[in-house]
Structure 1
Amino acid sequence: MPAPSKPRSAFERYLPHRRWLEWGYWIGVVVISATANTLTVGMELRRAGIAHHPMEPAIWEWSSNLVFLALVPAVAWYSRRFPLVLEDWRRALVAHAAGSLAFCALHVLGMVALRWAVYASAGESYDFGPWGRQLLYEYLKDIRTYAGMVLLMEAYRFVIRRLQGEARLLDAPDDAPPEEPVERPERFLVRKLGREFLVAASDIEALQASGNYVNLRVRGREYPLRTTISAIEARLDPARFQRVHRSHIVNLDFVASIEPLDTGDARIHLHDGSTLPCSRRYRAALKDRLGAAS
């Protein structure tokens, strides 16, 4: 009789729909913004008695919003690269000031190029106006848009980490010696939805770098730890864990087999049926470690 399946958490139920909902949100924002702005700009032009082609407000607003949509992945990547953290707020502030300038430049160049193309296809020419004044005007709008995007993305990631469970290293107590070596932790503390529990390092099946986090995989679930893959590698037990890729570390106890690939790389099969990539740089060392263990 098969064992009853464990009920899925809210995060696990959400995962299959995650990308669709994330992109659906941004596409919905663009459609609503472009449509509403097209209507309001057209009304303002008619109210002011400014001659214009009926399609011009739509060209202006949709070109701006489509370029905005194209920049969403870049802002998501950049905000993961430079997260908003209090302990490094100066670096984050400088990085996002530069990011807002790049966002504005790409946004303006993209939308002007689209407008030029549309006007040219109709045998007309598009005049953006004095570039210096217009860039300043656009930047004052775009810096607010950029800041709103970054704050929204950070808030969303915060909620996701709380649903998923976020790991951290155990700290040494202030008034007593640590119960275990802090340099090479045997356990990790995971906080999930306001509750805390300990995860043994030996239970970690694999680790994967993900931006400014490293995901600890435990019994098929992942818990992000704010660190780098190199930093956590130096603190793991080298007798148990092996680097197999620039973004992956595996617990040798969970390796079932290694599948060589024609490229010289390999595919690692774990006991639960999942796989990890192994680059040719680490393949020989992994085979030696597994051969010595057997």
Structure 2
Amino acid sequence: MTDTANWLDRYQPWRRSAEYGFWIGAFLINAVLNSLTVIMDVQRTGLPYQPWQAAVWETSSGVVSLLLVPAVVAFTRRYPLHQDTWRQNLPWYVPASMAWSLAHVLGMVGLRKLAYATQGMIYDYGSWPQELFYEYLKDVRGFASAVVLLHVYRFILLRLQGEARLLDEPDVGPPVEAIDRPERFLVRKLGKEFLVAANDIEWIQAAGNYANLRVRGRDYPLRSTIASVETRLDPQRFARVHRSYIVNLDQVAMIEPLDSGDARVHLKDGTSLPCSRRYRNELRERVGSGI
């Protein structure tokens, strides 16, 4: 476990670059290979198109698809397909795939028109109803592939970094501690389980159907809404500071007021969290009074 944990720690600073690099590289390679294939088909069949036109078709499609990846990432975070959520979330993927395809078509047609205009030509997309249906049949496969890749990638990361859950009530006898306000959370990591004290949680962030527990520099996703987690934490130690954040009051170093009426909460480890104006005064009073 130690070697894997060290590997994960080394990966984290490069994680964002690796993720961007993967998607850029994947779409770049796909666009180049598709361009070469189309150019070969045009030359073999003797169609009246120049090589640059085929390159524009495939490149415009790849660029727009790449720009739409963040939308797919955000959507899959909001509607993840887990064992306990896929039935209620899967129907949302049908309209999402349609919206993704429509945005893809509009974007690539716009880029093609611009490219053709630079050559003094007009790009004709053809019959929109027919072409939209044709493009959707292709786009739905690309959309599904991106969704599968994202879920597999997140599953691997969760297995490596650990996923938290509440302690279950025993089948026989009374629970060791209160189930409605647990003192510890159970974390499963690489097939092993260990306990995390609730008071060791530094802050919590909402992430779709998850609440990420920040403990000693690591995030442990808990499959629960942040509102549900808030009801199970000690209100004398934890405070809601934002619709997406809960903070451990012992970790607060300073509250910085902002001109907007909101605030920024600075923690002892150097982390800064947003604080909404509705929570600012209460947080200041609680921190100032030493509660």
TM-score band by shorter chain is over 0.9
SS at match of 1:9: helix
Structure 1 unaligned residues grouped into runs of 5+: 1-6
SS for the counterpart of 2:49 is coil
Q: Distance in 2 between matches of 1:124 and 1:275?
A: 53
In structure 2, give the amino acid aligned to 1:280. Answer: R
CA deviation profile, 1:130-176 (whole Å, cap 9, x unmatched): 22221111111111110110010011111111222111111112333
Flag the 1:8–1:60 CA change in 2: closer, same or farther, 3 A.
same
Find 1:88's aligned residue among 82, 85, 108: 85
1:172 aligns with 2:180: no
Overall identity of the aligned pairs, in %: 58
Aligned partner (choices 203, 208, 211) of residue 205 of structure 2: 208
Q: Secondary structure at the match of 1:87?
A: coil
Alpha-carbon contact 1:257-1:270 (below 8 Å) kept: yes
Q: 1:142 is matched with which residue: 139, 146, 171? A: 139
TM-score of the superposed pair, with normalisation by structure 1: 0.92
Give secondary structure in 2 for the equivalent of 1:66. Answer: helix
Is 1:260 the counterpart of 2:275? The answer is no
Tell me the CA shift for residue 202 of structure 1: 1.1
Partner residue, 1:244: 241
SS at match of 1:215: strand
Q: Is the 8 A contact 2:35 2:54 kept in 1?
A: yes
**1:224, CA displacement in angstroms?**
1.3
Q: One-letter code of the match for 1:291?
A: G
Answer whether contact 2:61 2:108 (CA < 8 A) is retained. Answer: yes
Q: Provide the secondary structure at the position in 1 that maps to 2:186.
A: strand
Give 1:81 deviation, angstroms. 0.7
Tell me the distance in 1 between the aligned counterparts of 2:76 and 2:172. Answer: 38
The CA distance in 2 between the partners of 1:273 and 1:85, in whole Å, is 34
Q: Structure 2: which amino acid aligns with 1:69?
A: L
Q: CA 1:135/1:261 → structure 2, altered by over 3 Å: closer, same or farther?
A: closer
Query: Which one of 20, 26, 30 corresponds to residue 27 of structure 2?
Result: 30
Q: Measure, in 2, the Cα distance between the counterparts of 1:156 and 1:249.
A: 27
Superposed CA RMSD: 1.8
Q: Is the 8 A contact 2:264 2:273 kept in 1?
A: yes
Structure 2 residue runs without a partner (length 5+): none
1:127 deviates by: 1.6
Written as runs of structure 1 = structure 2, the 5 A alignment for 1:13-24 is 13-24=10-21
Q: Distance in 1 between matches of 2:40 and 2:167?
A: 60
Tell me, yes or no, if structure 1 residue 69 matches structure 2 residue 69: no
2:196 corresponds to which residue?
A: 199
Letter in 2 for 1:130: S
- Mapped to 2, the partners of 1:70 and 1:227 lie a distance apart of 30
Could you tell me which residue of structure 1 aligns to residue 216 of structure 2?
A: 219
Question: Which one is further off, 25-34 or 165-174?
Answer: 165-174
Shift of 1:253: 2.1
How big is the shift at 1:8?
6.9
Contact 1:10–1:163, Cα closer than 8 Å, also in 2: no
Q: 1:105 — aligned with what?
A: 102
Secondary structure at the aligned position of 1:217 is classed as strand
**8 Å contact from structure 1 (residues 191, 197) kept in 2:** yes
The Cα shift of 1:87 comes to: 2.1
Distance between the aligned counterparts of 2:258 and 2:33, measured in 1?
53
Question: Are residue 46 (structure 1) and residue 43 (structure 2) matched?
Answer: yes
Equivalence for 1:4: none
Contact 2:80 2:86 in 1 (8 A): no
| 1:284 aligned onto 2:290 | no
Structure 1 residue 257 displacement after superposition: 3.1
Matched position secondary structure for 1:176: coil
